[in-house]
Amino acid sequence: MKITQISVFLENRKGRLFDVCSLLGDNNINIRALTIAETESFGVLRIVVDNSDVAVKLLKDSGFVANLTDVVAVEVGDKPGGLASVLKVFADNDVNIEYMYGFVEKFSDKALLVFRFADTDLAQQILAKNDIKVVTEKEIEGL
Amino acid sequence: MIWKEQVECAGPADLKNLQSDYLRKLTAYIYDNCAVYKKKIDDAGVRPEDIKSIDDVKKLPFTTKVDMRDNYPYGLFSTAQSEVREIHVSSGTTGNPTLVGYTCDDVKLWSDVMARTLCCAGAEPGDTIQVAYGYGLFTGGLGFHYGAMEMGLRIIPTSAGQTARQLKIMQEFKPRIIACTPSYALYMAEEARDMGIDPARGNWKIGIFGAEPWSNSIRQEIEEIWNMLATDVYGLSEIIGPGVAQECHHKDGLHIFSDVFYPEIINPETGEEVAEGEDGELVITTLTKQAIPLIRYRTRDIVSINCEKCRCGRTSPRISKIKGRTDDMIVVRGINVFPSQIEHVLVGIKGTQPYYQIVVDRKAHKLDEVEVLVEVEEKIFSDEIKELKELQDKIKKEIESVLSIGVKVTLVEPKTIERSMGKSKRIIDKRTL
Amino acid sequence: MDIPYWNKEIETADRATIEKIQLERLGKTLSCALRSPFYKRMLGEAGISSGDGIKSLDDLRRIPFTTKDDLRKSFPKGLLSVDMQEVVRIHSSSGTTGIPTVIYFSMEDVKNWTDLVARCIFSTGATSKDVFQNMMTYGLFTGGLGLHYGAEAVGMTIIPIGGGNTKRQIKVMKDFHTTVLHITPSYLLHIHSRLGDVGISRDELTISKAFVGAEPHSENTRLKIEELLGIDAYNSYGLSELNGPGVAFECVYKKDMHVWEDAYIVEIIDPETGEVIEDGREGEVVLTNLIRHATPILRYRTRDLAFLHPEKCECGRTHRRMSRILGRTDDMLIINGVNVFPSQIEEKIMQIPEVGTNYQIYVDKKGSLDRLTVKVEIYPKLFMGEASQLDALKNKIKEELRSSIVINAVIELHEPGALPVSEGKAQRVVDQRSKL
């Protein structure tokens, strides 16, 4: 099942990341997973939150450029080799990954991996076939 | 040495007769050969017969950049295209450049005024000149090349760039004269030091610097660093290229070759001539050009004029260094840039018209840098870094294709560019020129 | 067909007359060359001390070859044969900034060169009515100014635009009604592929001829150019050492290039043995310049491989035709008309500390243009873990190369150990472009 990730355009300026996070924090939005892809001159912040619709509106109203992207959240055991085993499944099945990032969940022995795939539908099929747990939007909210 | 003494040191009466004769012929010629000018002159209620002396030039209409733009490419020409020997361009205000052309005689004229320029700066027969202005469609490189050919000088046509090579050439061949932009001269000094060369012991003795505005304090810097005489050259492609005016070694104003380029200094608002010594807009009439002569061309450059005879012996009037512009054009690395050119490019990007700002800066002894800030709005934002980078590159490439200089494009967050009355301030020029 | 001749007498002179002219000019050239330090020594060692030392053209073979290395070693004035006072122009080879090759021209040398280029232009049928867009670089490189001088002499309308900025080139072609181009073949094909983007169709252009040169290309490429663009493409050969453009050019029959034998003595040699071989067989082109006195050059090994046609051309010219260039005897690369030695690239990138110990130069085609990719392994100790640092490194390498070899290379960063280990120089360069 796809979940929604918010992408935010940020200049490489001091304090921008703080501005985003404090805005979300002040409005009771919880960040589940986060990564920044940077180049020499700008960055794209990617976050998975517990309430994407509210969050993205909040960001836009505050003058940030933000959009929504479909990604897939996979849960694996939080132990060495957890990620590798999932990646092997993808490699064996020719599933291309555009980017990914991970988070360790508190109070649990699971790790959350967020993937953006070249072909999301194919990826989901492969995941289902291999009995790899995918986390739903609702479950993200409740984490 | 004065290249054309008869003209350059002519008495006022002789000069006036010559100019009057030229203007009569010019008016008849342009009226008969250029439909656009015929209409302009008719609309001004003037007939060619009304032009009897050079003073009557005031009766004729002005010509502006807009006229050149509106009649692109050949509408303002007075000869058939087959008579045009060479073509050059100048920056346009939007997508099209301004086109200028030369008949064989025009090239001879250009060679002549450039030879006058070189002599005025102090060049002597047997000298070697390093021409480090760009060769190509802009007139700098070839202009100096033709002048040097006319004078029989030894020419090293390095064109612009490849600084290490420029300096090696200076060391090996000891050219006495360097022709390039003043900012490049300062830039080369830095590189020279990096290469272990002491600029003060360099071989360039005379510099002919122009294509961009530069102050007397920059002149002092160049002269101290390079231990050379730094002179100012003025020109614009619409008139001929370099070779309109040049400083002699007294550095007390630039001699404008008024027998062929007739100057008027006007109040830009009213169009009336201002008193000698007062600041105003320089207006030039090309008295002898054939392919694309211009009547009362408004250069938008602000100068003052001095008509007294110079200590060097030349009687040609002297214009001051350029003090400013009446429009928003800036000069970057010797190339004219109109903010509207950049706007023109951005409008074509993804159907939006993003807010933008042009920031021009020059770090000490470096070259001018242009940064174009473009606000990212939703329509053009993508989650993929690759796409954003492609957008950045595309904008950069398009702008560079129109301006002919390299720029940096930075994507910025929305609302970070200062707005005033709904429009953003288009240019921030951080340089002290 | 009406054959245009710039100088009919010379161009159709019988062989005996041509050889007589050659011998006479060779004598003069030798006298001149003896005034230069380099040739005085070299000719002295070969037992030639005056212009009369050569009695027949066969005697030419007594003179040793001159190589690029000789020119480099003679920098700056080893080959100068006149007083500096007589020199009016100084030119240089393209691409090199290390130790350049310098060519001096006297006023008469420039006149002779101009006349030769005018002859080339005129032989293709171009006239003063044509509008000429000169897309080769202007400056120290002889390609731009050489054709400019010749075009002036023919009386064409010249657009001295130089290279680059494709969009502008196409727009200028349309707005200024260009009819003749001077351009590399790969760039011409590239222009064709960009017409759509720029929104200008071929019908809106008035081009009818192109002088193509500065890079070797096959007959098929020429035919493709002619077919796609609907123009006549004439092959042009020249090198700065021998003036620049104007050494050999195709006539209206386009059956390979006439070498102007009143201005050059051309020999084809076996690159291994140095023996002169007969017409019709492929070998290395060796040229002697008969019309330049400030910097005479004798038996210059061009490293270009070609053969001479024994048969006369239908146009009636008696100057032999040289085939298109079929290859090189050294490792020099020609990327979109610009000469580059792999050693130049190596020198530049090895100066950068973040570059590791292994690299590879990879050449292929992107569309019609040549693409040079420099793959480097990064040096692990200096990697800070930031994508922006890598970006900056790529830009730095790109800029260093661009300012020294004048080429926009694609830079690829690789992990240590990712590139094949090379034992010799040859493996450092992989050229995927098809053989000619």
Q: Are residues C295 and C342 in the same domain?
A: no
Check: CB of residue C236 under 8 Å from CB of residue C290: no
Instruction: Kindly state the average pLDDT of the residues B353-378.
Output: 88
**How many Cβ atoms are within 10 Å of A88's Cβ, its own excluded?**
12
Check: CB of residue B376 under 8 Å from CB of residue B385: no
Is residue B11 over pLDDT 60?
Answer: yes
How close does chain A come to C393, measured CA to CA in Å? 11
Chosen domain end from C286, C305, C330? C330
Averaged pLDDT score across all residues of chain B:
93
Separation in Å, CA C13 to CA A96, C64, C95, C262: 70, 29, 38, 10
Which of C221 and B121 is assigned the larger pLDDT?
A: B121
Contacts of B87 (CB under 8 A, 6+ apart): B99, B100, B101, B102, B137, C157, C158, C159, C160, C176
d(CA C167, CA C197): 9
Check: CB of residue C80 under 8 Å from CB of residue B172: no
C201 and chain A: CB distance < 8 Å anywhere?
no
Q: Which residue of A has its CA nearest to C388?
A: A40
How close does chain A come to B386, measured CA to CA in Å? 10
Alpha-carbon Rg of chain A, whole angstroms? Answer: 16
- Record the tokens describing residue B266, joined without a space: 């006007």
Q: Quick one: pLDDT at residue C95?
A: 44
Q: Are residues C269 and C403 in the same domain?
A: no
Neighbours of chain C (3+ CB pairs under 8 A): A, B
Q: Which residue of B has its CA nearest to C164?
A: B401
How close does chain B come to C338, measured CA to CA in Å? 15
The full set of domain ranges for chain B reads 1-326, 335-429
Neighbours of chain B (3+ CB pairs under 8 A): A, C
Bridge partner list, C267: C286
Q: C386 to chain A: which residues are within 8 Å by CB?
A: 38
d(CA B215, CA C84): 37
Please list the helix, strand and coil fractions of chain A in percent, rounded to the nearest 5, in that order.
Answer: 35, 40, 25
Q: Is C66 within a domain? A: yes
Contacts of B404 (CB under 8 A, 6+ apart): B91, B138, B335, C165, C168
Chain C interface mutation, best of A13, A36, A39, A40, highest count of C Cβ atoms under 10 Å: A40
A38 and chain C: CB distance < 8 Å anywhere?
yes
What is the crossing angle of helices B12-33 and B35-43, to 10°? 110
Identify the sign of the CA torsion B419, B423, B426, B428: negative
Among B16, B17, B22, B24, smallest CA distance to B51 is for: B24
Q: C410 to chain B: which residues are within 8 Å by CB?
A: none
Q: Are residues C303 and C346 in the same domain?
A: no
pTM, full prediction: 0.88
Would the CB atoms of C160 and B88 count as touching at under 8 Å? yes
Q: CA A48 from chain center: how many Å?
A: 5
Amino acid at B322: I
Q: Please, which pLDDT band fits residue B203 given cuts at 50, 70 and 90? A: very high
Least confident of B296-310, B378-392, C261-275: B378-392
Q: Which residue of B has its CA nearest to C106?
A: B154
Is residue A57 over pLDDT 50?
Answer: yes
Q: Is C1 within a domain? A: no
Among B19, B67, B61, B15, smallest CA distance to B40 is for: B61
A131 and chain C: CB distance < 8 Å anywhere?
no
Separation in Å, CA C318 to CA C2, C8, C13, C114, C323: 17, 11, 6, 21, 15
CA angle (B312 as vertex; B311, B318 as ends), nearest 5: 80
A11 and chain C: CB distance < 8 Å anywhere?
no
Bridge partner list, C180: C132, C209
Would the CB atoms of C158 and B85 count as touching at under 8 Å? yes
Would the CB atoms of A39 and B410 count as touching at under 8 Å? no
d(CA C378, CA B287): 63
Check: CB of residue B402 under 8 Å from CB of residue B345: yes
Chain A interface mutation, best of C391, C399, C413, highest count of A Cβ atoms under 10 Å: C391
Domain containing residue C417: 338-431
Domain A2-68 has CATH 3.30.2130.10: yes
d(CA B180, CA B203): 15
The ranges of chain C with pLDDT < 50 are 95-97, 425-426
Which helix (H) or strand (E) element contains residue B402? helix B385-403
**How many Cβ atoms are within 10 Å of C434's Cβ, its own excluded?**
9
Nearest to C392 among A12, A37, A40 (CB): A40
Identify the sign of the CA torsion C201, C152, C249, C79: negative
Least confident of B29-38, B279-288, C69-78: C69-78
Q: Are residues C234 and C371 in the same domain?
A: no
Would the CB atoms of C158 and B126 count as touching at under 8 Å? no
Residues in A whose CB is inside 8 Å of some CB of B read 5, 7, 9-11, 16, 37, 39, 41-42, 44, 46, 60, 63-67, 69, 98, 116
d(CA B261, CA B294): 10
Chosen domain end from C275, C308, C330? C330
Q: Quick one: pLDDT at residue C97?
A: 43
Chain A interface mutation, best of B383, B408, B419, highest count of A Cβ atoms under 10 Å: B383
Check: CB of residue C430 under 8 Å from CB of residue C361: yes
A39 and chain C: CB distance < 8 Å anywhere?
yes
Tokens 């694609």 -> residue: C410
d(CA B381, CA B379): 6
Q: Quick one: pLDDT at residue C244?
A: 92
Q: CA C136 from chain center: how many Å?
A: 11
Identify the sign of the CA torsion B151, B155, B159, B160: negative
Q: Which residue of B has its CA nearest to C176?
A: B73
d(CA B288, CA C71): 47
A40 and chain C: CB distance < 8 Å anywhere?
yes
Q: Are residues C259 and C397 in the same domain?
A: no
d(CA C175, CA C177): 6
Number of domains in chain C: 2
Contacts of B39 (CB under 8 A, 6+ apart): none
What dotted CATH number matches B335-429? 3.30.300.30
B136-165 tens-digit pLDDT: 998 999 999 999 999 999 999 999 988 988
Q: Are residues C243 and C264 in the same domain?
A: yes
Report the b/e string of B228-247 with b at 16+ CB within 10 A: bbbbbbbbbbbbbbbbbbbb
Q: Are residues C287 and C350 in the same domain?
A: no
How close does chain A come to B213, measured CA to CA in Å? 31
Beta-sheet strands, E only, within C63-156: 87-92, 102-106, 131-134
Q: Quick one: pLDDT at residue C99?
A: 63
Among C283, C239, C291, C240, smallest CA distance to C263 is for: C291
Check: CB of residue C406 under 8 Å from CB of residue C338: yes
A72-117 tens-digit pLDDT: 998 888 788 888 888 999 999 999 998 999 877 766 778 888 999 9
Is residue B49 over pLDDT 80?
Answer: yes
Q: Which residue of C has its CA nearest to B385?
A: C387
Beta-sheet strands, E only, within B257-365: 261-266, 280-286, 297-303, 305-306, 318-319, 324-325, 330-332, 335-337, 356-361
C395 and chain A: CB distance < 8 Å anywhere?
yes
d(CA A102, CA A121): 21
Instruction: Kindly state the average pLDDT of the residues B193-207.
Output: 95
Q: Are residues C318 and C258 in the same domain?
A: yes
CATH T-level topology, domain A71-142: Alpha-Beta Plaits (3.30.70)
Give percent above pLDDT 70 in chain B: 98
Q: Is C113 within a domain? A: yes
B58-107 tens-digit pLDDT: 999 999 999 999 999 999 999 998 899 999 998 877 777 889 999 999 99
Q: A7 to chain B: which residues are within 8 Å by CB?
A: 381, 383
- Record the tokens describing residue C325, joined without a space: 């260039």
Q: A44 to chain B: which residues are within 8 Å by CB?
A: 383-385, 388
The full set of domain ranges for chain A reads 2-68, 71-142
Q: Which residue of A has its CA nearest to B383?
A: A7
Least confident of B86-90, B114-118, B376-380: B376-380
Report the b/e string of C19-56 with b at 16+ CB within 10 A: bebbbebbbebbbbbbebebbbebbeeeebeebebbee
Among C176, C123, C170, C173, smallest CA distance to C150 is for: C123
Is residue B328 over pLDDT 90?
Answer: no
- B1-326: CATH class: alpha beta
Would the CB atoms of A38 and C388 count as touching at under 8 Å? yes
Q: What are phi and psi of B405, to 5 degrees?
A: -135, 160
DSSP assignment letter at C241: G
Instruction: Kindly state the average pLDDT of the residues B215-226.
Output: 94
